[in-house]
Amino acid sequence: MGPMEERVQRLLEPTISALGFELLGVEYLGQGKHSRLRLFIDGPDGIGLDDCTQISHQVSAVLDVEDPIKAQYALEVSSPGLDRPLFKPEHYANYIGQQVKFRVKLPVNGQRNFDGQIQKVDQQNLYITIETGETLKFDYSDIERANLVPAV
């Protein structure tokens, strides 16, 4: 997440937590008048459409007052889905042994897209075993986006 997403996350976490849900992460897709602010939420019993609607109304009020994004955008509130996005070290830690696809900000050995199995995590780094059997280390701050690969 970039600085703007982190600011929105800090701003909205208390409101979403008070409703009994967890704000997993924030994604801002700047595309002019078609920009979107996407919030990924989860709850103890999963997420339904009514939950997304309730959170959307509460969050909209906070965003209107605080106005952290000056541009026009559409707000989307979403469950994480099967290809759950991973934002924080603890998210990765919950899925050790699972497959993940991710993109890094700057190329590593000439590539930016990786997929492999999460081997271990610490507070700073993610260790992934790629298809060649090699285990690579990535700093979380270098990861642009990451998603679980649903088991078939």
CATH of 89-148, one of 3.30.2130.10, 1.10.10.10, 2.170.8.10, 2.30.30.180: 2.30.30.180
Q: Are the C-beta atoms of residues 36 and 73 closer than 8 Å to each other?
A: yes
Kind of pairing between the strands at 36-42 and 74-78: parallel
Angle 39-44-50 from CA coordinates, rounded to 5°: 55
Domain-wise residue ranges, the chain: 3-78, 89-148
pLDDT digits (tens, 9 = 90+) for 18-38: 999 999 999 988 888 888 999
With a cut of 80, say whether residue 152 has pLDDT above it. no
Helix (H, G, I), strand (E, B) or coil at 25: strand
Q: Which two tokens stand for residue 7?
A: 């600011």
Cα gap 109→93, rounded to integer Å:
25
Helix (H, G, I), strand (E, B) or coil at 16: helix
Tell me, what's the pLDDT at 143? Answer: 93
pLDDT digits (tens, 9 = 90+) for 89-123: 999 999 999 999 999 999 988 999 999 999 999 99
Sheet containing strand 22-29, strands side by side: 22-29, 36-42, 74-78
Tell me, what's the pLDDT at 67? Answer: 83
Q: Quick one: angle between helices 49-66 and 3-18, nearest 10? A: 120
What mean pLDDT do residues 130-141 have? 92
CATH of 3-78, one of 3.40.50.720, 3.30.300.70, 1.10.10.10, 1.10.1760.20: 3.30.300.70
Q: How far is CA 89 from CA 61, 69, 133, 144, in A?
A: 30, 26, 23, 14
pLDDT digits (tens, 9 = 90+) for 50-74: 999 999 999 999 988 888 888 888 8
User: How would you label 63-82 residue by residue, b for 16+ Cβ within 10 Å and e otherwise?
Assistant: beeeeebeeebeeebebbee
Which helix (DSSP H) or strand (DSSP E) does residue 33 occupy?
none
Is the pTM higher than 0.85? The answer reads: no
Amino acid of residue 34: H
